[in-house]
Amino acid sequence: MSERLQAPRGTSDVLPADWPARRVVEETARRILEAAGYRRIETPVFEATELFARGVGESTDIVQKEMYTFEDMGGRSVTLRPEGTAPVCRAYLEHGMQTLAQPVKLWYLSSFFRQEKPQAGRYRQFWQIGAEAIGSDDPAVDAELVLLLHTILAEVGVRGVRLRLGSLGSPEGRLVYRGLLQDHLRAHEAELSGEVRARIDLNPLRAFDSDHPGTQRVMQSAPRLLDHLSPDDAEHFAAVRAMLDAAGVPYEVDPSLVRGMDYYTRTVFETTSDALGAQSGVGGGGRYDGLIEMLGGPPTPGNGWAAGIERILLAAEGLPAPVPVVDLFVASAKDDGREGAFALATEARRAGLAVQQELAGRSLKGQLKQADRLGARYVAILGDEGISLKDMESGEQEVVGSSSAAVARALKGRHPG
Ligand code: AMP
């Protein structure tokens, strides 16, 4: 026998039993986002590698270590999308959406790929719900996006949600701050982890993310970006907070909030769930006012977030698991009844019923057992004397006629309207 093959490490199948809960999450997100004017978009699963190199940033973990990048047959470097914001911004530009009324509000539900070390809640293929609002720098955009994420997580029943909010300011302000932070890191170089030390020049902000104890000690006394925002950026952040306060959205201001992509400016946010383990992030996002320009477009502000479906499912409680409804199971008591049963099942489906039919050559007894297993409400049995309808709840059975129309009439009679 050949070796039994398995799915690649860090990927998983979404099995039939997983779908009812998943569908609730997807449907809740769709309803809430579309009611707020966000329209669905789906971009290709792979993109030119350069999109992420430029958009997400050369120095990020995602681009340096986690992308599935390969050459196609034409020798072009392509990458399985590791995130959705850069592709959506590319699509915004490519389809001239800057000519529409701004902001253009888009949402997606797609799979993403990162070559991370798999663990509970961290996979190499995972699904995200995301929302992006492109073309306005109004703080109301930021507040609306945060509110929508908060509402979706609340409606789905995610437990122990915490929302952290910060501001990274504008790139110019960040450059000044970056210098201050680099000075601080260099002054404590010996206490830092090797990785952080190696990145003092390239990406000093990531030092806040380190779980290295020495680095964490050094970061406690590090200068905070929030204390060095320009007046405009500070005003923008205050406006976002005032709107969230007015909407009653609870949040904590986190001065050390950094995110894994270089494109963020001004408002950033992250939601976690206490119900999750080490991988506690449920969703996150922020403003990316320079991204579209980095992709070759005109200066265009934007903001967006993404939330992981698998993490939402792990952190939510009480998601219903409805069993599929079967209105009618079509059985046959005759050896030569197969075509008649097939025709009856087809007509009943056309009439809008959820119908299953015998597909494994069982005896009549076996067919009734199968109908019971499926939870069928009625069974139509084709016999020599016509078609009988069996009510699986009461156990009553009667001959209703010999045509599918007769079965339809009988079913209608039992369920008027
Ligand atoms: P990010 O795109 O890194 O900001 O992540 C946004 C959300 O996507 C996270 O809060 C997680 O819920 C989810 N996520 C990110 N990476 C993974 C992964 N490797 N496996 C499962 N979910 C992930």
Locate the domains of the chain by residue range: 16-170+230-315, 328-411
Give 140: exposed, middle or buried? Use CB within 10 Å, 0-12, 13-18, 19+.
middle
Among 207, 169, 175, 172, which residue's Cα sits nearest to residue 191? 207
Question: Using CA of residue 155, residue 156, residue 157, residue 160, what is the dihedral sign?
Answer: negative
- Ligand 1: nearest atom to the Cα of 83: 2
103 prior amide bond cis, ω within 30: yes
> HEC string of 198-214?
HCCCCCHHHHHHCCCHH
Amino acid at 254: D
Tell me which residue has tokens 């925002």: 229
Integer CA distances (angstroms), 404 to 2, 14, 341, 411, in order: 48, 37, 10, 11
- Ligand 1: nearest atom to the Cα of 122: 20
Q: With contact defined as beta carbons under 8 Å apart, do 126 and 309 qualify?
A: yes
Among 40, 65, 84, 64, which residue's Cα sits nearest to residue 291? 84
CATH code for the domain defined by 328-411:
3.40.50.800
Q: Which of 126, 152, 209 should be mutated for ligand 1, with most atoms under 8 A from CB?
A: 126
In whole angstroms, what is the distance from residue 323 CA to residue 329 CA? 16
In whole angstroms, what is the distance from residue 45 CA to residue 361 CA? 42
Among 411, 117, 52, 403, which residue's Cα sits nearest to residue 262? 52
Residue minimizing CA distance to atom 21 of ligand 1: 122
- pLDDT per residue, tens digit, the chain (417 aa), is 899 999 999 999 999 989 999 999 999 999 999 999 999 999 999 999 999 999 988 888 899 999 999 999 999 999 999 999 999 999 999 999 999 999 999 999 999 999 999 999 999 999 999 999 999 999 999 999 999 999 999 999 999 999 999 999 988 888 888 899 999 999 999 999 999 999 999 889 889 888 999 999 999 999 998 999 999 999 999 999 999 999 999 999 998 787 767 788 999 999 999 999 888 999 999 999 999 999 999 999 999 999 999 999 999 988 877 678 999 999 999 888 889 999 999 999 998 999 999 999 999 999 999 999 999 999 999 999 899 999 999 999 999 988 888 888 888 777 644
pLDDT score, position 27: 96
16-170+230-315: CATH homologous superfamily?
Answer: Bira Bifunctional Protein; Domain 2 (3.30.930.10)
- Ligand 1: nearest atom to the Cα of 62: 3
How far, in Å, is the centroid of ligand 1 from the Cα of 258? Answer: 14
Side-chain-side CA neighbours of residue 149 (13 Å)? 37
In whole angstroms, what is the distance from residue 128 CA to residue 207 CA? 27
pLDDT score, position 306: 98
In whole angstroms, what is the distance from residue 135 CA to residue 141 CA? 10
- Ligand 1: nearest atom to the Cα of 271: 10
Residue minimizing CA distance to atom 17 of ligand 1: 122
Residue minimizing CA distance to atom 23 of ligand 1: 308
Strands 326-332 and 376-383, by their bridges, are parallel
How far, in Å, is the centroid of ligand 1 from the Cα of 250? Answer: 22
How far, in Å, is the centroid of ligand 1 from the Cα of 66? Answer: 12
> HEC string of 85-99?
HHHHHHHHHHCCHHH
- Ligand 1: nearest atom to the Cα of 128: 8
pLDDT score, position 14: 95
For the chain, how big is the Rg over CA atoms in Å? 28
- Output the ligand 1 site: residues, CB below 6 A: 83, 114, 116, 121-123, 126, 128, 260, 281-284, 306-308, 310-311
How far, in Å, is the centroid of ligand 1 from the Cα of 281? Answer: 7
- Ligand 1: nearest atom to the Cα of 259: 4
* Alpha helices (H) in 281-375, listed in sequence order: 291-294, 309-315, 338-350, 364-374
- Please tell me what DSSP assigns to residue 135: S
Q: With contact defined as beta carbons under 8 Å apart, do 126 and 112 qualify?
A: yes
In whole angstroms, what is the distance from residue 308 CA to residue 84 CA? 12
Report residue 281: phi and psi, to 5°: -70, 130
How far, in Å, is the centroid of ligand 1 from the Cα of 46? Answer: 18
Q: Model pTM?
A: 0.89
How far, in Å, is the centroid of ligand 1 from the Cα of 56? Answer: 14
Strands (E), 10-124: 39-40, 46-48, 69-71, 77-80, 104-113
pLDDT score, position 417: 44
Which pair of structure tokens corresponds to residue 330? 């079509």
Give 329: exposed, middle or buried? Use CB within 10 Å, 0-12, 13-18, 19+.
buried
In whole angstroms, what is the distance from residue 258 CA to residue 81 CA? 21
